Amino acid sequence: MKKTLFIMLCLAAALPAAAASPQQILDAYAAEAKKANPAFKSFSAEKGRAFYVAKQGATGRAASCSTCHTEDPKAGGRHAKTGKDIRPLAPSANAERLSDAAKVEKWFGRNCNDVLGRACTAQEKGDFMSYLMSVR
């Protein structure tokens, strides 16, 4: 795990009552992306949206984030395998989303592996978060 993100996650675990803002989490991913690619300038909500709807075949079937979360991140979804209800992804519709760095990282870890068959890069995470933060 990258040092910046590790420090942020440790702080989040040490202060469970202190929520992180989506921007703080995004800033940590920006630092990680800059470390991985010194030419990194910024995240793209447009690329994040494309990532959200892109069909991947890692699970043996074509799936995307929107498979479970719906095309509209302001809407609730349903897990494709378990049928479990999923609250909206967009912070504008669900204030708890993107407010806990450890949960965000855990969520990326599980879902990137499930959909992509690999870990997401800091660039992908930041683009994705930028998209969700832009949804009104």
pLDDT digits (tens, 9 = 90+) for 45-98: 999 999 999 887 665 567 788 888 889 999 999 988 888 999 998 999 998 889
Global pTM?
0.81
Domain ranges of the chain: 3-134
> Given this structure, which CATH class describes domain 3-134?
mainly alpha
DSSP string, the chain: --HHHHHHHHHHHH-TTSPPPHHHHHHHHHHHHHHH-TT-----HHHHHHHHH--B-TTSS-B-HHHHH-S-TTS-EE-TTT--EE--SSTTT-TTTT--HHHHHHHHHHHHHHHHSSPPPHHHHHHHHHHHHH--
